[in-house]
Amino acid sequence: MNNRESYHTCIDILRETEQYNFDILYIITKKEHDKRQYIAYAFSLDDPEDMLSINVNSDGSYNTFPMDYWDFNIDDYLLKPLENGYEIDYMPLFEHYDVWCCIDQWREDVSHKDGLQKYLSYCQVNGISKHEIDLMQLESIDIMDLYVEKNCNYQIITSTTIGNNTIVLGYNAKKDEYVTWSTTPNRKYGYDIGHYFSNYRKAFKDYRQRCTDMLDRHLQIERNRTKPKEKNVPER
């Protein structure tokens, strides 16, 4: 989700510093003492290798710093801050595409693994998917296979989605325990109604049953939605 307020704040700063030809790549934010500070990265529309960092402090003061294009990289300037408590506040889809391309190129060479997982979680929650990326009609790319989804120390090992509903199966290696949860495709509302099991066979049986029940409910809704209305036949 993009925060237009922080975007406009940074655009105003660019205007105040007479950097009229710059636009924002992305903005990250961190909360301190109930107030937020921001870091934005901007590039010149005239020369993309001309870059700026905009630091907005929690008291509203700010500083801008020129950046070396050759030094800028996603690992150090996005994934590392995410590991250190920052969150994405603004990032347009085309910038996500560039981030996906960089991550896909590095893959196993990414240094900040926890930051990568946090970014991929952000993508899942906010609908940044291969489908959305493909709508840009650029080179097809997918990095969500790198995502290790976890909830309450359970790693999600499989999931099934039908419509706006999802059933997941998770495994906790430390407890040697399985769980099934009901959730949504983007996990926006968390995980509900956990069923816990001590062995895989019983857990997968429950997973299959919950998926079957979910399909039945979906088909009933589709039947009610598509069923033709009965015609009233006039009495003679």
Instruction: Tell me the pLDDT tens digit for each residue of 218-227.
Output: 999 999 989 8
In a domain, 98, yes or no: yes
6: Cβ–Cβ under 8 A, 6 or more apart, which residues?
27, 29, 38, 40, 56, 89, 90
Angle (CA) 97-7-42 rounded to 5° is 60
In a domain, 61, yes or no: yes
| Pairing mode, strands 154-162 and 150-151 | antiparallel
In the beta sheet, which residues pair with residue 166? 161, 183
How many structural domains compose the chain?
2
Residue-wise pLDDT tens digits, 54-70: 999 988 899 999 998 88
> Do residues 120 and 69 both lie within one domain?
yes
Residue-wise pLDDT tens digits, 193-210: 999 999 999 999 999 999
Domain boundary among 144, 167, 191: 144
Q: Which pLDDT score, from 0 to 100, does residue 98 have?
A: 95
> Domain span at residue 117?
4-144
pLDDT at 236 over 80: no
In a domain, 231, yes or no: no
Place of tokens 């946090």: 118
> Do residues 19 and 94 both lie within one domain?
yes
Please tell me the pTM assigned to this model. Answer: 0.81
> Do residues 88 and 193 both lie within one domain?
no
